[in-house]
Structures are given as structure tokens and as C-alpha cells.
């Protein structure tokens, strides 16, 4: 009985565990940061597959008010988290592609790394070539209001 009560108290946490970036997969600091952001963002609850939650790429404020994410929400949550980690928005792209006949959006960093809500692992853009992704810069209007954009020096590589 005491064991069940203890487990029940541990079953739900308000915040996910926070591990040092060195504990995440990747051969470089950048790869480990990407891995952490991708994995942690993918923990957010997803929309039902039959309808998208976000009509367009959401702002930080819109993400803060939402309870469920679709691929656009996941991509922007990752973009904001990476910007907060010191990675300049100019290094990020939104890629639009079709997966099984449905539109899908992923975040691409340095035109090399893909952060996708379908996969907790950071993938290479080459893995997505068969889907013919169309890359576009992040909308400046969304990134301009980011708190991390003020006073930034050189982004980590």
C-alpha cells in the first residue's frame, strides 16, 4: 500500500527532468543541443491527426496559450528553444513536405539537421530528400520578438 502511494506521487511531474546537455546524443555540442530540444519539444501533446491545431506558424505567445501541437507548432517550439539556446534564426529553415499524401512541416538547422515531431532522433536532411522538402526562412516577424535575439553574440556551432 505504501509503495502504491509512493508511485502515485511520482507518476506526474509538473516539469520534465532536466539533464545536462552532455547527456544527450550527438558528437558535437550543437548536435547535443539539437537532440535535447527535439526530444523535449516532442513530449508536448499532439493534435488529433485528422485536423491541424495551428493554422499557420505560431508565435511564442500563441504557443504559450495552446494545449496541443501539430507539426507547425512543434517546428516553431523547437525554433524558439534553439534561439533561446543561442542559435541564430538565420541558421534555421522551415521545410514543407508531403508524408503519405499529407502536408508536413519540420525544422531544419544549418541545412543539414532535421528536427521532426515524428522522430525523437535528429536526422540528416539527406534522409528527407525523397519527400522533396521545400525550405523557407523562418518568418522574421515571429523571430524578431524573441527575448534571445537581443544582445546576441556569436551563436554556438
What 8-state DSSP symbol labels residue 39? H
Residue 155 lies in a domain: no
Is the per-residue pLDDT at 4 higher than 50?
A: no
DSSP readout, 63-94?
HHH-S-B-HHHHHHHHHHHHHHTT--GGGEEE
Question: Could you tell me the residue range of the domain that residue 91 belongs to?
Answer: 22-147
Residue 8 lies in a domain: no
User: What is the distance of C-alpha 2 from the center of its chain?
Assistant: 39
Residue 89 lies in a domain: yes
CATH code assigned at 85: 3.10.620.30
Is the per-residue pLDDT at 50 higher than 80?
A: no
Per-residue pLDDT band for 133 (boundaries 50, 70, 90) equals very high
Residue 52 lies in a domain: yes
Lowest mean pLDDT among 17-31, 50-64, 69-83, 115-129: 17-31
pTM for this structure? 0.79
Residue with cell 516539469: 15
Is the per-residue pLDDT at 122 higher than 70?
A: yes
Residue 12 lies in a domain: no
**Domain count for the chain:** 1
Residue 32 lies in a domain: yes
Residue 82 lies in a domain: yes
Contact 107, 79 (CB under 8 A): yes
Residue 153 lies in a domain: no
DSSP readout, 117-154?
TTEEEEEEGGGGGGG--EEEEPPHHHHTT-GGGTT--S
Amino acid at each position: 500500500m505504501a509503495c502504491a502511494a509512493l508511485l502515485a506521487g511520482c507518476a506526474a511531474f509538473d516539469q520534465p527532468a532536466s539533464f545536462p546537455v552532455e547527456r544527450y546524443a550527438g558528437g558535437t555540442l550543437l548536435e547535443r543541443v539539437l537532440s535535447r530540444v527535439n526530444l523535449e519539444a516532442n513530449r508536448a501533446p499532439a493534435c488529433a491527426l485528422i485536423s491541424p491545431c495551428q493554422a499557420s506558424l505560431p508565435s511564442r505567445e500563441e504557443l504559450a496559450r495552446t494545449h496541443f501541437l501539430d507539426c507547425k507548432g512543434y517546428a516553431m517550439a523547437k525554433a524558439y528553444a534553439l534561439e533561446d539556446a543561442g542559435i541564430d534564426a538565420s541558421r534555421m529553415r522551415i521545410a514543407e513536405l508531403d508524408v503519405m499524401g499529407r502536408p508536413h512541416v519540420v525544422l531544419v538547422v544549418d541545412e543539414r539537421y532535421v528536427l521532426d515531431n515524428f522522430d525523437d532522433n535528429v536526422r540528416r536532411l539527406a534522409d528527407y530528400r525523397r519527400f522533396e522538402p521545400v525550405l523557407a526562412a523562418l518568418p522574421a516577424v515571429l523571430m524578431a520578438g524573441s527575448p534571445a535575439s537581443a544582445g546576441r553574440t556569436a551563436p554556438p556551432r
